[in-house]
Amino acid sequence: YSNEFIVHLVPEYSDEIVCLYCGVSYLIYHEFHQLRTHVAQLEAELQEMREMAQREKAQREALELERLVWTDSNRLSAFLACFLFSTYLCILLRSDLLNFLFR
């Protein structure tokens, strides 16, 4: 293409340069390109936020599971403590009962 096709000053808009081959204003093309670049940046940020939200959700679920395990562990410990204490009391009572019976 020769230079006369590439650049032409439009009389009514002296600061706007257009391509005579396709008719697109370079100002509009530049703005469109900036918008596309901005959209790509926003999409990348959105993807990053989605990934961060998924990581946070996984962390919350892991913490909840840990809390449940800890709670169940404490319940089990309390149950075992009660069981052992009651077993100990039974042994003491049997021992006292046997001592009482066989004096």
Q: How confident is the model at residue 2 (pLDDT cuts 50, 70, 90)?
A: very low
Q: How confident is the model at residue 39 (pLDDT cuts 50, 70, 90)?
A: very high
pLDDT digits (tens, 9 = 90+) for 65-93: 888 778 878 888 888 888 888 888 788 77
Task: For residue 3, give the H/E element and its range.
Answer: helix 3-6
- Is this prediction's pTM over 0.85? no
Tokens of 21: 């081959």
Domain chopping of the chain, boundaries = 3-75
